[in-house]
Structure 1
Amino acid sequence: MFATFRNLAPALRLNGVNVLRHIHQKPALYDANMLQQQAFINGEWISAKSGKTFEVLNPANGEVVGVVPDMDLEDTEAAIKAACDAFHVWKDTTAKERSQILREWYNLLVKNQKEMAEILTLESGKPLAEANGEVVYGNSFVEWFSELSRQIRGDIVQSSVPSKKILVQHQPIGVVGLITPWNFPHAMITRKAAPALGAGCTVIIKPAEDTPLTAIQIVKYAQEAGFPPGVVNLVTSSRANTGPIGKLLCEHHLVAGISFTGSTAVGKILYKQCAQGVKRLALELGGNAPFIVFNSANLDKAVDGSITSKFRNCGQTCVSANRFFIQEKVYDEYVNKLVHRVKSLKIGDGSQEGVQLGPLVNEPQLHKVAEFVNDAVSKGAKILTGGKPATHLGKLFYEPTILTDIKEDMLVYNQEVFGPVISLIKFKTEKEALDIANSTDVGLAGYFYSEDVSQIFRVSNNLEVGMIGVNEGIISCAEAPFGGIKQSGLGREGSHLGMEDFTYVKYTCIGNLS
């Protein structure tokens, strides 16, 4: 069992925890009939006021794994009111009280980790090993912010006037809408909700329509942890209602802020909608991550990093390596090693033992990946392995693919593929690699491999991204700030900076002191 996952082992160590030990030899996924399948508003599990529902499908086999409320604007208004009413009480709780409830939430999530991972695999298609890894990772944010919530500090500033005292404090902004994606349905909720709740805000969680069941389970344990009614709310909806609900959250006068993870295109829409009320806005958007292998690199480590960075969640991650730049001296050797490793990857239903790549999440995602590959081939790219849907496994599976002879007019050169496709580009000089890597309007993550210390500092300084992995393909953790520059977003999640999007600074001047 452990040998089966050796190619992805680096990806399976999150926050220093080896998640392989949490996986049973013969996985049996959670019984869908036992799932909570309602939304959560003001401390109650409810259906949509309209009575409408939508189905949640397992992307590995197309089977229905849940039926959840298809909520609309009326339901969202109720959630906003509940969150607003609760905020007036929650903001006045002590940091210690909030910390204790967050810690209990963390304990419950850890206790039910196996169940959480199985639900995640059911609705996202993610291999169970990766699902366990995500749950460990997602839980770590609840633990981190349960501790950090007691460390929100202000200042007493020395005044230039003896009769005045200057006080600075950080206060919660209010009701926050959390709009989360399908690719990390657990971690993207906890990474947003934990700091918001720890700061004293109340939240309305709007999960992606593809993966609401994980969100429901997370909120179930939040309820059991003791969050008062209205502090945590969950609104589920189909794709048709997602846009209007997002617009309402952005424009409603009772909502103080929005935190969104998703595409740059959608992020820009939310940015415009939030402008009307000058909302506090946190955006974690798309990337086009470069992966650079220099002549001095340890090629075995570089190939390991390539596999973990590219094929985690079948390439459906915002920090996934997208464009691979390989220096000409080591190009052939690196490619030979890479092709051998990629051909050995096992794809299939994520619930089955040994599977390393699951399906893409839905048909639009499959069509996008196929379009990118077909576009490249039509313009002269060569396929070294893969290059087509794996229809024998199911309609949403796509073979892990390596393309070479990439040109500037190809979609894979200019856009984020968000799928299991590696595009190889040979380069000569460090400057050439940096010029191409930086020639994009996004800048989330970047990776490079080098054993030259001077080059490590030089390239790290000049690579235009918010996060860099040097000789490392997995960089996310609760202690580090996660976020990008350019059109990859605003703000940072995780680290001590993760609270900043949910607090504002209040300055108080006390005058006429004797």
Structure 2
Amino acid sequence: MTHTLSDQLTPELAERATSLLRAFGADIPEPGELVVRTPITGGTLLTLRPDTVETADAAITRADTAFRTWRTVPAPVRAAVVRRLAELLTAHRAELGELVTLEAGKIGAEAVGEVQEMIDICEFAIGLSRQLYGYTMPSERPGHRLMETWHPLGVVGVISAFNFPVAVWAWNTALALVCGDTVVWKPSDITPLTALACHTLLRRAALDVGADPEVHQLIQGDAEIGARLVDDERVALLSATGSVRMGRTVAPRVAARFGRCLLELGGNNAAIVTPSADLELAARAIVFAAAGTAGQRCTTLRRLIVHTDVVGPLLDRVANAYRQLRVGNPLTDGVLVGPLIHAGAHENMRTALERALGDGGRMVCGGERVPFGDDSYYVRPAIVRMPAQTAVVREETFAPILYVLTYRDLDHAITLHNAVPQGLSSSIFTTDQREAERFLAADGSDCGIANVNIGTSGAEIGGAFGGEKHTGGGRESGSDSWKSYMRRATNTVNYSTELPLAQGITFT
């Protein structure tokens, strides 16, 4: 498509974005200096007024005030808001998915899948509202009961990234609300319209069930606005998703005020393919994990560590599949790879490929820009065969580049796998149980997510999501991630008429 046709498409997309906002019941933003672009064409969808420091602080105040009452509402009653949100998301699944495509560039199937993930976490949170369990422990003192209880924590600040503009917010918000917290959300300034849609649906859900809509606040803007959540002592927990660089800035500032951080930062995910692997299954998993979302997932597969005996046939399969991937407008049926988010992402990809080739890498396929328009950035996913795990391979480039390394011994493969700063997601492809168990053992993968015979991306909400090392150590979504959003109290109840002291101490 020529630049002229791209220009013709932008007004249609802008009109559609406005129509979708109306469908959610959202107010159309007043024009302002925050420009919302679509990566589909690079053109402008809308402009809106960002928050100021004063309006952001006012939003935190409203959330803090609402918390004083919300924390006293029984958890199963709080879940009514989340249940109604799930119903509204189900009713608007297609429309919200389309808005995700317009703002983030995801293909339709992935965008709707992200909305389904929101519905799934709402269902999880609804059940969780009756399972915020504490332990009862045996006391060493007769006539005493020792137990723990969990209480709402406070205001939860959520800073989310463009690549999952709605799901990560839902992970945090659904759990925080049933745990008795209130939420202030600062979305990426690249995807403010999806945030406005979600905020509208949540406030409607609260009103529909007779709850206080002030339990959720939305603030829009740049890093200065996000900094209000970082530095305000009323924000008890800051859940931040983004780059390692962002995490290095945020974590010490929150720690300095003794707040809590839940960090989901970079990933440089790898898969090991052993000689026993089912190569057809592995190839399918690799293609989606490496090329899905145009490589713009924190769980994207970026390193492929393959045994020398099978690297040839495996690469033939993967490269052949890559060459058949249809790259283009994500609103078009049959397209599997949409655009990079902006020019900066394309420049980062181009620079990384130059460095890889300069390090002795060999381009197997892909890497070139696909013509669409001057202001949009479509690329063919790249595969690069590397002689060693060089500096560029150890870095995360948020683009569809798959580096291929080889190994002969599984211990060496695991060493290569772990020899990066990040520790989010990982996989091994094998039909040998010993190899699988070795990978999952304490001295195997050092990542927060370790899979066998599936790719590195596409986590289910039932498991805790997060990683180690430079990935930040946070856990969101399933399992016992809810504990991040609550405070623990240890309680001792003396129901006797005596006053024995612990450890047998006498004080008379």
TM-score (norm 2): 0.90
Deviations 1:401-442 (A, max 9, x none): 11113434351x111122111111121111111111111222
Aligned to 2:491: 508
d(CA) in 2 for partners of 1:30 and 1:84?
37
Letter aligned with residue 231 of structure 1: V
Q: Within the alignment, does 1:399 sit opposite 2:383 as a pair?
A: no
Q: Within the alignment, does 1:409 sit opposite 2:390 as a pair?
A: yes
Letter aligned with residue 229 of structure 1: P
Do the aligned residues in 1 keep the contact of 2:84 with 2:205 (CA within 8 Å)? yes
Pairing partner for 1:296 from 259, 276, 286: 276
Aligned to 1:144: 124
- Structure 1 residues 45, 169: closer, same or farther in 2, change over 3 A? farther
Pairing partner for 2:446 from 464, 473, 486: 464
1:50-449 matches, within 5 Å, as: 52-226=32-206, 227-237=211-221, 241-242=222-223, 244-392=224-372, 395-411=376-392, 413-449=393-429
CA apart distance, 1:84: 0.4
Do the aligned residues in 2 keep the contact of 1:482 with 1:494 (CA within 8 Å)? yes
Do the aligned residues in 2 keep the contact of 1:175 with 1:202 (CA within 8 Å)? yes
d(CA) in 2 for partners of 1:67 and 1:283?
30
d(CA) in 2 for partners of 1:46 and 1:248?
25
Do the aligned residues in 1 keep the contact of 2:151 with 2:487 (CA within 8 Å)? yes
Q: Within the alignment, does 1:482 sit opposite 2:462 as a pair?
A: no
Task: Identify which range, 63-72 or 316-325, moves more after superposition.
Answer: 63-72
CA apart distance, 1:491: 2.9
CA apart distance, 1:163: 4.2
Deviations 1:34-60 (A, max 9, x none): 2449xx9xxx97979xx8441211101
d(CA) in 1 for partners of 2:473 and 2:261?
7
d(CA) in 2 for partners of 1:498 and 1:456?
26
Deviations 1:437-480 (A, max 9, x none): 11122211111100101111011211111101211114411111
Do the aligned residues in 2 keep the contact of 1:29 with 1:119 (CA within 8 Å)? no
CA apart distance, 1:196: 0.7
Letter aligned with residue 409 of structure 1: T
d(CA) in 2 for partners of 1:95 and 1:28?
41
Letter aligned with residue 270 of structure 1: V
Supply the RMSD in Å over aligned alpha carbons.
Answer: 2.1
CA apart distance, 1:371: 0.7
d(CA) in 2 for partners of 1:158 and 1:279?
32
d(CA) in 2 for partners of 1:416 and 1:67?
31
The structure whose Rg is larger is 2
CA apart distance, 1:71: 1.2
Instruction: Provide the secondary structure at the position in 2 that maps to 1:139.
Output: helix
Aligned to 2:8: none
Do the aligned residues in 2 keep the contact of 1:68 with 1:236 (CA within 8 Å)? no
- Structure 1 residues 29, 136: closer, same or farther in 2, change over 3 A? farther
Aligned to 2:505: none
d(CA) in 1 for partners of 2:490 and 2:32?
47
- Structure 1 residues 47, 338: closer, same or farther in 2, change over 3 A? closer
- Structure 1 residues 107, 270: closer, same or farther in 2, change over 3 A? same
Aligned to 1:34: 19
Do the aligned residues in 1 keep the contact of 2:274 with 2:430 (CA within 8 Å)? yes
- Structure 1 residues 46, 337: closer, same or farther in 2, change over 3 A? closer
Aligned to 1:494: 477
Instruction: Provide the secondary structure at the position in 1 that maps to 2:183.
Output: strand
d(CA) in 2 for partners of 1:208 and 1:402?
29
Do the aligned residues in 2 keep the contact of 1:481 with 1:495 (CA within 8 Å)? yes
Do the aligned residues in 2 keep the contact of 1:28 with 1:351 (CA within 8 Å)? no
Do the aligned residues in 2 keep the contact of 1:148 with 1:496 (CA within 8 Å)? no
d(CA) in 2 for partners of 1:323 and 1:47?
42
Deviations 1:317-352 (A, max 9, x none): 111111111101011111111111000000001011
Letter aligned with residue 279 of structure 1: G
d(CA) in 2 for partners of 1:29 and 1:76?
27
Instruction: Provide the secondary structure at the position in 2 that maps to 1:56.
Output: strand
- Structure 1 residues 221, 392: closer, same or farther in 2, change over 3 A? closer
User: For structure 1, which runs of at least 5 residues remain unmatched after alignment?
Assistant: 1-26
Deviations 1:235-272 (A, max 9, x none): 111xxx32x22322122121111001111111121101
Deviations 1:191-238 (A, max 9, x none): 11111111000000110011111111111111111141320011111x
Do the aligned residues in 1 keep the contact of 2:59 with 2:184 (CA within 8 Å)? yes
Instruction: Provide the secondary structure at the position in 2 that maps to 1:31.
Output: helix
Do the aligned residues in 1 keep the contact of 2:75 with 2:129 (CA within 8 Å)? yes
Aligned identity (percent) is 27
Letter aligned with residue 411 of structure 2: K
Letter aligned with residue 491 of structure 2: T
Task: Identify which range, 169-178 or 215-224, moves more after superposition.
Answer: 215-224
CA apart distance, 1:312: 1.4
Do the aligned residues in 1 keep the contact of 2:219 with 2:225 (CA within 8 Å)? no
Do the aligned residues in 2 keep the contact of 1:247 with 1:273 (CA within 8 Å)? no
Do the aligned residues in 1 keep the contact of 2:366 with 2:380 (CA within 8 Å)? yes
CA apart distance, 1:30: 8.1
Instruction: Provide the secondary structure at the position in 2 that maps to 1:507.
Output: strand
TM-score (norm 1): 0.89
Do the aligned residues in 2 keep the contact of 1:30 with 1:119 (CA within 8 Å)? no
